[in-house]
Structure formats: C-alpha cells, structure tokens
Structure 1
Amino acid sequence: MTLPHALSGLGEIAGDYDILLCDVWGVIHNGRESWPEACEALARFNRDHGHVVLISNSPRPASDVVAQLDGLNVPRDSWKAFVTSGDATRMELARRAPGPAWIIGPERDAPLYEGLGLQPASGAGDAAFLSVTGLLDDTTETPEDYRERLTPAAEAGLELICANPDRIVQRGDQIIYCGGAVADLYESLGGRVIMAGKPYGPIYALAMAEAERLLGRPADRSRVLCIGDGVVTDVLGANEQALDCLFIAQGIHGDAAKGPDGRLDPARAADLLKAETAYARYAALDLKW
C-alpha cells in the first residue's frame, strides 16, 4: 500500500488546490474549544488560494450549526460555505413525509425536522420508519442501551434514516458515541439503514454545488482536497468521490499514528487507513499552515 505523504503544513500543498472540503469536528474543534492553528490555516487558504467549504456530519442543518461554530470562536473568515449531513438528510426525510416517524435523538437536533410535516410515532408499533440523529444522552449511554428498543423495528422491516454517520467523536478529552454507532447496531439486528452524510454521495453533491457557486464555474476535481479525521467517513468519502484527501491522524486515533519521536509515522497512519481499505494522499497529526 502506498504510504501517505507526511505534511509539515497545509501551506506545502495549498497552491495545488482551489477548493478544500474540510471536516469540522476533530479538525477545527473538539466540541469544547476550537484550534487556532487549524482555523488560521483555513483562513489563509481562503485569503490567498481558494475557497473552504465546511462539510460536517452534524445531523442539524448548517444554518443551525453556525451558532455553535461562533460559540467555539471559529472565525467566519476560515470558511465560505457550510453543508451538513442534516442538510442532505432532510431530502431523505421529506420523501418519507408525513411518516409517521419514530424519532430518536437529543432535543438539540429538533431543527432537522422543522417544516417537513412529519408525524411523530411513539415506537416501532406505529412508525413507518425511524430517524436517528444520535443517542438521547451521549454522555452516559452506549449503542447497546438501544438494542432492546430497536429489535422490534428491525424485525418489522422498518428503515432507519441516520442523520449522523459518525460512529464516535472526541468531545474535550472524552470519546462519545454518535448516530452511526446506533445505525451499526441496527444493521447487526438485520435492519436497513439509509444515510446521506459522509461517506455517501448526497452530501458531496451539496458540497460541490457550493464549491462551484463560489468558483463561478465547474470545479476541476483534481484541484479539490478533502480534509478529515474519520477514516470510514472523511477518507472513504473522498475515495468514493475520487478526490485527494488529507488525513488528520490524531484526535479520535490517539497516538496510533505517532512514531517513537512523537511525530507522524506515515506507516502507522497507513495502517489506520488500511484497516478500512482506505487511502489518503497526505497525512498530518493536526491541521496547520
């Protein structure tokens, strides 16, 4: 397997690209604080080279997540457009309205459903499908807490629409489960899962439409770089779209990609990718210029 090229910083390759499709959680913030060097690298690319489109597996519409970025002190000049899994998932939900839908997830994700006309269901018995944004309490629960509740839905053949394909994210110094982990459980029970976020095509179609709006012309896909820390979401998504990728190999991966000297070891980064049959052209421990 070809090893990813270890980057000293984004500036090393910035001139090769017009568009960055950049992941959010795990690259520019950890849910508790933003990382100034990453934000500055994106702002500098915006200023001197091209356009940054943030592409997130947040289950909420992008318009609702901007306030979170502002609250984490992510500068507005570090991005020019923003698309989320929530944006892409709303199209799937709209096709299934009025449902009824058995909705699972925290109250903060309610904006996903606004204006869609979905009728609520109380459980598998009166639902046409399930919609999952995440765990009700991701600070204490695990996907296993949902096995008993989801089994009847899987046995009934109900589709599960997962609005956040991420399995885990790092919040501060804690690893928490996301909607994708619940979707994995549902599939293990024999249920069918539909996703529109990374690594699936619908969210990339939205992101490329934003890129072409910013460019004012069709995008040259050889000059589009994806950046992300999720192997099964960001990296595989880039691979499926035949786009170059910069793999951020720290965060949820801990020290697995570090060598004895504390620096990125391309062979260890490649092992993380190889486990999911993924490939990245570049790798770095974190995003900086």
Structure 2
Amino acid sequence: MSTSSRMNFAGINNIMITPFTETEKVDYDSLCNVIDKIVSKGVHAITILGVAGEAHKLSDQERSEITVKAFETVAGRCPIIVGTSSNSTKEVVSASCFAERHGAAAVMIAPPKGLQFGPQLIEHYSEVAKSISIPIVLQDYAEVTMVDLSPQNMLDLLRSVPQIAAIKLETPPTPLRMSETRQIVNDDIAIVGGNGGVLFFDELLKGANGTMNGFAYSEALLEIWNHWNNDNQKSAEKSYFWILPLLTFEFQPKIGLAIRKEILRQRGWIKTAVLRGVSSYLNSEILSDLSNIMKNLSIEDKYDNN
C-alpha cells in the first residue's frame, strides 16, 4: 500500500486556530469546543499546529498538549494532520514521530526558512520520511518560508521523497500555480489550496483536490465542495460568490487571523479573540465592517440560528 492511499486528502480540511485566554495562556476548554464544533459540521479532516494555529508562538509542551487534546476531542471522527514544521530537521523528526504515535493521519511540513530547493532540502524531508510511516504534506507558502519552489522543484522533491503524498499550495498566483503543478504531478498526489479559501473555486477549476484553510464558516466551504463533488459547477460557483465578501474580508493581511478568531468568538465557540504576543488589531471600524458583511449575508441566520 502506498503512503498516499492511507488518507484521502480531498475535500475540506479545517486549519485549527489556537485559542488563548486574556492572559495569553492556551485555553484548552475553548480549543476542545472549537474542534468539536468544526468536526461536527462534517469537515473531511482538520489540521492542528499550522501557521494559523500560531504554532511558532507555542512551547514544545504546549504543542504536545494541544496534540493530545485534539485527538481526545476528535475521537476518530475525522483524520487529523499535525503541523510539525521547524528550521531544525531534528525537531521536525521528533514532532513528527510524536504526532504519529498519537494517531496522526499525516504531518504537514513547510521547508526550513530560506532553504531553497537543493540537496539540503531533499535531505531534510528524507530524514523525516525515514522516521515515520505516515504521509507528508508539503506546505508551499513562500510568503512565510521565503522558499519559492517552482512546480518543477516540487515534482523533483516528490520524486526524491515518495512519502510526500500531498501539496498544500499557497504561493501566489495560486490558480496558475495550481494548473502548472497539476499538469506535471501524478494524479496520485493531492494538491489542495489554502489562503483562507479566497480563491477556492478558481483552484477547483485548475485541478485542486480541495482546500486546507481555517475560514470561520467551514459550512460554506463544505457547501461549495458538495456542489462541486456532485458535478454541479454552477451551484458551486453561486455558493462561492455568495460567501466571497466574507472570505476576502477575513483574509486581509495582518488582521485576518484576528478577524477569524473574532467570528469564532461571536459564534460562541471560543471565549476570546486574543492572539499571542499581539495587541488587538480590531478597532470599532473594523468590527463594524465585519458586522455589516455578516448581516448582508444573513450568515448567522443560515448557519447559527437554525
């Protein structure tokens, strides 16, 4: 059995936030609640400890505790992918082994910051692959990693490390990049979008197998996917353009994660919208704009008041 057959990466994979208390401690009660709520909506998988989970701000102990809590909460209802990225190969190996021991379906790994394609990058992923038996998701996110992998680079990396079973493609322009990568990568390799779902429909048109993002209304993404998966492109397009104003508002640079957490707070899924180490970006004007968009969409009536 190939590693890629152990998990179907298609569909909607929610990238989990990490809730904090007012004093910036991990709020484990809110963490378990938001995981339970999102899984109950029917997402196909969740990913913990990604960029949107503020993993880089967490201690090793916190990351371990979050991993344990996530698996306890999900209780087998859907696969869990664990982000294990680090600039240190040794740390990635250790975190990936820990994730596998606790039941991870796969690990998501971005290249070490600034390490461009070449023998060292191949060795980095090869060492991880040797240490685990579960698939690896390659996170292509040049804005954060400062590593710009061309589609050919990604293909060469996949050939060198067959355990890489999926690519999370987030380097813009993602629809074009999706198309170029899909044309040269074997269909056994899943390619999914990210970036808050802003270009989700366009990515589907270009060959995406789904999306991995943390948009606060995963129900809307599921609606798009279900239409698409049932060969109803027009309905998928309609659902996408209906939710697009909120997708784009939530994914604004610098304030996007704060907006996402605020929406989840308003839904009653987490207690605070606190980001660790960051003063609130959300002034009264931004909150008013958010409220207007949500009212115009009547999104609470559709998803929260039924």
Structure richer in strand, relative to its length: 1
Query: Normalized against structure 2, the TM-score is what?
Result: 0.33
Structure richer in helix, relative to its length: 2
Higher RCO (Cα < 8 Å, 6 or more apart): 1
